[in-house]
Structure 1
Amino acid sequence: MPPVVLVHGIRVSGTMWGPVMSSLDRPSAAVDLPGHGTRRGEPFSMDAAVSAVADAIDSLGGRALVAGLSLGGYVGIAAAERIPGRVAGLVAMGCTARNASTAWIYRSVAALAVRDPARADRISSHVLRRVLPGPAGAAMVAGGLSCEVLPQAVAAVAGHDQLAALAAYPGRVWLVNGARDPFRSDERAFLRACRDGRLILIPRRGHLGVLRDPGPLARLLGDLCDQLDRPERAVAAPSPR
């Protein structure tokens, strides 16, 4: 029964996983990536992000399922490539759009955000609370927002070959997307790149909507952990309420 390391999305922090962690039935840890949350102000790079994930894995015994959303999913893919012996399995959520197809969107947003990071943080907080009302949205902003890190994070993701990383990782991979997530555009290419991969679609959910119901998501992560210790069987996507 491996523990779970959870990796947050861009500009938010590990607090976004609080509602999910409270429903998990196994040890877990949520990292703060460089430039985010308690590490705000630190430079972001993929090497530094993977190091943060490695430290979290070591705090849980040295081997864990790594699950990340959006930026966290891309970081998880890099961790699986670079420290495969410590990544028992990978759950990559909302991160199956290839660099060329989405980088320009994020670069444009990042360029706007760094002109006035405080204003960008306020706008982001409002949007996140509207997209995820209630505890899920509150958890997203509880650790503070860090829009000033957007250019560094976008550049790090754009400079990493996710398909090659997935092809290099020998372990099991689950690609989890909301069925309405626009960033699932290249999911089939990502799936083909995996040596042992599965695609799970969550009905009627968008990019962040997979966090709307933390209980079903926690049960899914727990089931995927269990599968690492037993023969493979089919996994049903959690049903949104």
Structure 2
Amino acid sequence: MLPVVLVHGIRVSATMWDPVAARIGGPVAAPDLPGHGSRRGEPFTMEGAASAVADAIDALGGRAFVAGLSLGGYVGIAAAGRFPGRVAGLAALGCTSNSRLTTVPYRFAASLAARNPARADRVSARLLRGLLPGPAGAAMVAGGLSCEVLPQVVEAVTGYDHLAALAAYPGRVWLVNGARDPLRANERDFLRACRNGRLILLPRRGHLGALAAPGPLARLLEDLRDLSCDRPDGDAGAPVPAGDRPKGAIGES
């Protein structure tokens, strides 16, 4: 069975994925990115983050399905572009914006957080628990928060050419967005950049909403992982048969 590597979001850590990882069958790894969790204090770069994903893949045997949310999705795209032989398929969730309309507020929030990271961590913890009540919210903060890294992350993400990375990757890509996620602003540009891409919209979900239903999210990722094994990379761009469509998308009845 193809292993799965799960990549966490900004300022949180690998524990974000614990409720989902526990429900995925087969080998699963969720590395901490530089500057986050067990690697807090390390400088963050997209190259270093992509290498962290590659190291996790190597520890699982050298080839894996990669799924990332928000920052984790951007990092997954970078890893696929840099290490296409290691990434068997990619699910990039909540990471299809390169618009100034979203970048400017993130830069402003990052600069505020950097002035008092401890206070920003406390505020973030309350917000995350409020947005995701119960185990999902607890998992978001269990590994600690790292708001001091926000300015580095924002500059790294906005300075990276994710469309070029997608164009360089021959494998299958699923862009998964909540229908209410403001970061889906440029999803069609991202989709056009993919050599073998598909777009999945999750009804009634926002940016982090998929994590509120760890069981359905785990099943969706398992479906996409299994589809990644269905045809070799050389068939990139071939249409996906109706029977290949993932089942039980989150938020669908």
Same fold (TM over 0.5): yes
Match of 2:158 in 1: 158
1:178–1:202 contact (8 Å) kept in structure 2: yes
Match of 1:27 in 2: 27
Structure 1 unaligned runs (5+)?
A: none
Match of 1:64 in 2: 64
Compute the displacement of 1:238 (Å): 2.3
Match of 1:199 in 2: 199
Matched position secondary structure for 2:250 = coil
Spell out, residue by residue over 1:164-203, the C-alpha distance to the aligned partner (whole angstroms, 9 max, x if none): 1111110000000111101101111111110000001111
In 2: Cα distance, 1:26 partner to 1:178 partner: 26
1:90–1:173 contact (8 Å) kept in structure 2: yes
Is 1:235 equivalent to 2:237 in the alignment?
no
Compute the displacement of 1:5 (Å): 0.3
Compute the displacement of 1:117 (Å): 0.3
Matched position secondary structure for 1:68 = strand
Q: TM-score, normalised by structure 2?
A: 0.93
In 1: Cα distance, 2:10 partner to 2:200 partner: 22
* Count of residues paired in the alignment: 241
Q: TM-score, normalised by structure 1?
A: 0.97
2:210–2:250 contact (8 Å) kept in structure 1: no
In 2: Cα distance, 1:155 partner to 1:72 partner: 15
1:77–1:92 contact (8 Å) kept in structure 2: yes
In 2: Cα distance, 1:203 partner to 1:99 partner: 23
Matched position secondary structure for 2:149 = helix
- Percent identity at matched positions? 71
Calculate the aligned-residue CA RMSD, in Å: 1.2
Match of 1:91 in 2: 91
1:96–1:185 contact (8 Å) kept in structure 2: yes
In 2: Cα distance, 1:217 partner to 1:135 partner: 14
Structure 2 unaligned runs (5+)?
A: 232-239
> What amino acid sits opposite 1:177 in the alignment?
N
> What amino acid sits opposite 1:235 in the alignment?
P
In 2: Cα distance, 1:105 partner to 1:210 partner: 23
